[in-house]
Chains A and B, each alone.
Chain A
C-alpha cells in the first residue's frame, strides 16, 4: 500500500474539525473544505479522508469503489492544510498571507517545524493505491491513458500542441522557454497566444518546445504516479538537452508541478522556474511593457489554490493587474490564503464535473459582492471552470486570465 508511507502523518491528525468547516473572521476564513460544503458528510472532508486512511491502515476498511469515489471527490485545494498550519491563524492575523508565507521557512532555520498535517498527500497516496487496484473513476482512467498516449489529457494529437502558435513566429530554442501546458495549448489557447504576444511585445527572447509533454500534475494529483514520472523525466531531459536557463510556466498547475514535484522525481533542476505572473511583474517593473489602452473596469482576482496556498504567490498577479491603466482592483472575501477554490483542481473536473461546478458556483455571490464585472485569474483550469459556472448561472461576469488583460491593454 502506498498509503503506508503516510502512516505517521495519519496518526498525527487531531480530528479537531477545523479543516471540515470553519469561519474565522480574525484570520480571514469563510468556510474551509469546498467539497464538504457541497456533500455534507464526514467522508467528503479532509478529516474524513484521514479517518478513511486510518481505518485502511488499521484494517477495518478495505479499498473499494466507494473508497475511490470519496477520495477522488477532492479538489486538492489545500485549504485543509492551510488552516491546519500550527499557529497559522495568529500569524495571518498579525501579518496576513504574506507573513504566513514567510514564517515557516524562518522558523525552520531555527529547527522548528510548522508544517500542517499533509492531508493532500494522504489523499494522493490513497488515489495511487486506487490506481494500482484499478479503482480510479473511469474519466480519470481515460485521462491518464490519453496522457500516456498523446502526452496531454484531452485526447488531442500531440502534433497539434503548437497549433495555437501558428503565425506567431516563435523560435524553438532560447535561454528562456515558455512552458505552455496542456490546457493552454489545447483548450484555452487565448492564454497561450496572449502570453506569447506580450513577451514578443516586451522584446523578450523566448522559445516554445514542440515536444513539450504534460507537466504531470493532473497525473500526480489523481494517483497516476508512474505515468507522471515518465512525463516529468521526458520534459527534464528535453530542457537539459536544450540548455534552458529559465522556464516560465503559463499555468498555476504546471508551475506547482515543475517547482515542487519535478525535483522530487529528477533531483534539483538545472534551470530557474517562474510563474508567468512573476515574469510579467518583472517586465513591468523594468518598464518593458507599454500599456496603450485603459481597461475601465472593476476587476477582482481569484487566487488559484495551487499558485497561492501551495506556492505562496499572491502579490505578483495583483501587481500586474494594478499596473494596467483603468483597472480598479477590488478584493474578494475570503481571499489569498483563505480563497475559495474554483472547483476544477485535483482532477475533480474530470472525475465529477457536476460537483466541480457546484463548488465553483459558491463563489458567485462572493464575486457579486465585490461589484466586479471581470473575474481575473492566473490559471487556465480556473478560467475554464468559472466560464462554465458563470454560463450556467447566466451571470454578467467576464472571466479572463491576467495575461489576456495585459495583452488587451498593450493592444498586441
Chain B
C-alpha cells in the first residue's frame, strides 16, 4: 500500500477507534508479521508473508463493524488476530496484499455468566488464563483448558483456528463447546446466531434453533467469512476427584485399542500416548531401563462422587489388563506433588519448546482416526529419514541429534494427533530449504495417510487444497463470494479469496 493511502486510511480508522488504537509505523507493523515460531520458520523467512499496512485495536462490535465498512470501501484486506501463536500463519498477512490487522486482545471481557444455563459469554480476545481465572471465581470450569499458545492464547484464535485443547478427550474440541456467536459480516452487519437470533432473547444461549446451525460456518474459518466479536461457551462443574494414571503396553496396537475404549467409555479427561519406536535414541536410552521397550499412556480420570471415582479406576484397571497393560506407578507421585496431567499448560514455561527442544524448524501436526495412527507415523518417519542433513540440529536438554516425534492422542471418538519436530540450522540456507521441502512432504503424507494435516488450516496449507474434493472447494467459494464479494476477509486463509 502506498504511504499516502496508508496514512489516509489510518486517519479514517482513527475516527472509528481513536488515535491511540491505530498504528501504521514500520516497527509495529513488523511485530505483527510473525506468529508461532516453532513451526513457521518458512514464513518469516519467505517472500510469501509480510507485515500488515496498519494495526488496529477495536473494543466493541460496533467499532469492528466500522473498520470492516472502511476496509470494504477501500477494498483492503482485514485480518483478525488473537494471541498470535497460530502455527499456520492464519493471521499473518500475505506480502502482496498486506492489509489491516485487527488485534482483538483488548476485546477480552466476560460479558455474562449464567449459572443456571451453564454458559459463559465472552469477547474473543480473552486469554485462556483469564477465562480460567474468571470461571474459578464462580466455581466452574470451561472443561477445555486451552491449546498450544498456552494460557496466553486467546479463545477467539482457538475457535477461528479449529483448535483442540487440553481435556479434549472428555469435553471435545473447543468448537464443540460453542453455543452462540456474534459476528460482524464483511458488509459490516452485526448478526447473532441460534437462540440470540430472536429479538426477544437477550440472555439465553442455545445453538440449534431458529433455523440452520449458522455457527458452524464461522468456526475454524480463520476469519474468512466474518469477524467473531462475542461467543458463548459451555461451562461445567469442577470434578472433585481426579488422578493421573499411567499404563504401559507391549505394542502400539494394544495401546491404541485401550485408548479407544477408554475414551469411548468416557473415563478419560486428558491423555498422552507415547510410542517407544518413534522416540529418538537418547530418550529410548532413558525410558527403556525404567519401563522396558513398551508404549506408554498417561491420562487423567475424574469423577464428581468418591464411590463412582473408585469404581471408575477399578474399571480402567480391568480394561488395561484386557490389553496386557501394566501399571506405571505415577499416580501416587503426582498426587503427592499436587499436580495432574490436566495442568499441562502449567507444566510448560513458554521456553519449554524453544529452549528445551532447541530452535526447532519443523513442527507438523495431523489428526487421523486413532487406529490408523501408526500408518501416519510410519509415513512421516520414512520421509524424515530421507534427509539426514535436515536432521542435524540438536535438542539441548535431551541431547538428541535427530528428529523428535511423539503422539498426543486425544479428542472424542478416538482422534490421533501426530506431532513431529526437527531441529534446523536456520543460518544455513541450503539446510533450511531442504527442511522446508521435508516439511511439505510430511504434511502431504499426513493428508494421504490420515484425515487432515494441519487441522488448523491457515494460509500455510494452501498447497493441500488439491486434496480437497472439487465440490467441497466450490461450496466454500460460493459461500465466500456471497458473503465477501470484495475478498477483504483474510484472503489466503483456507485458500480462499485469492486470484484464480
Contacts and interface: CB of A to CB of B under 8 A. Distances in A.
A54 B152 CA distance: 21
Given A41-B103, A86-B349, A51 B31 contact: yes
Contacts of B57: 40-41
B150 A70 contact: no
A61 B339 contact: no
Contact of B34 (A51, A84, A111): A51
Contacts of B396: 113
Interface stretch (A8-16, A255-263, A319-327): A8-16
Contact of A21 (B37, B105, B337, B353): B105
Interface string B338-352: 110001011111111
B337 A89 contact: no
Given A16-B152, A42-B103, A54-B34, A29 B347 contact: no
Interface in A51-95: 51-52, 54-55, 58, 60-61, 64, 66-67, 70, 83-90, 93-94
A66 B418 CA distance: 42
A117 B132 contact: no
Nearest to B424: A11
B25 interface: yes
Contacts of B37: 11, 13-15
Given A55-B30, A66-B26, A84-B349, A40 B36 contact: no
A115 interface: yes
A89 B349 contact: yes
A14 B351 contact: yes
B465 interface: no
A22 B153 CA distance: 9
A61 B31 CA distance: 10
Contacts, number: 183
Interface of B: 21, 23, 25-28, 30-38, 44-45, 55, 57, 83-85, 103, 105-106, 127, 129-130, 132-133, 136, 148-153, 337-339, 343, 345-356, 358-359, 396-397, 399, 426-427
A321 B467 CA distance: 68
A111 B149 CA distance: 28
A169 interface: no
Contacts of B353: 14, 16
B176 to A, nearest CB: 24
A8 B359 contact: yes
B122 to A, nearest CB: 14
The 7 A-B pairs with the shortest beta carbon distances in the complex, nearest first, are A17-B152, A18-B350, A23-B129, A14-B354, A42-B31, A84-B351, A88-B349
A20 B84 CA distance: 10
16 contacts: A11-B426, A12-B359, A15-B35, A17-B85, A17-B153, A24-B345, A25-B129, A26-B346, A32-B152, A41-B103, A51-B34, A54-B34, A66-B27, A87-B348, A87-B349, A116-B349
A67 B397 CA distance: 34
B342 to A, nearest CB: 10
A43 B25 CA distance: 11
A346 interface: no
A89 B127 contact: no
Greatest chain B CB density within 10 A among A23, A32, A42 is at A42
Given A17-B350, A70-B27, 15 more contacts: A7-B427, A21-B105, A23-B151, A24-B129, A25-B136, A41-B57, A43-B28, A48-B31, A58-B45, A64-B27, A66-B27, A83-B349, A84-B350, A85-B351, A93-B339
Nearest to B28: A43
A110 B435 CA distance: 32
B26 A25 contact: no
Given A21-B152, A22-B152, A54-B44, A16 B31 contact: no
Nearest to B37: A15
Contacts of B350: 14, 16-19, 83-84, 116-117
Contacts of B151: 18, 22-24
A409 B397 CA distance: 50
A18 B55 contact: no
A112 interface: yes
Contacts of A61: 26-27, 30
Interface string A84-125: 111111100110000000000000000111111100000000
- Which interface residue of B30, B83, B359 has the most chain A CB atoms within 10 A? B30
A322 B152 CA distance: 36
B355 A23 contact: no
Given A15-B35, A16-B150, A67-B27, A87 B352 contact: yes
Contact of B397 (A11, A16, A112, A116): A112
A90 B351 contact: no
A30 B343 CA distance: 17
Contacts of B28: 41-43
Nearest to A65: B27
Given A16-B353, A17-B150, A42-B103, A23 B31 contact: no
Nearest to B344: A90
Contacts of B153: 16-17
A114 B355 CA distance: 8
A184 B14 CA distance: 45
A117 B355 contact: yes
A47 to B, nearest CB: 8
Contacts of B349: 18, 83-89, 116
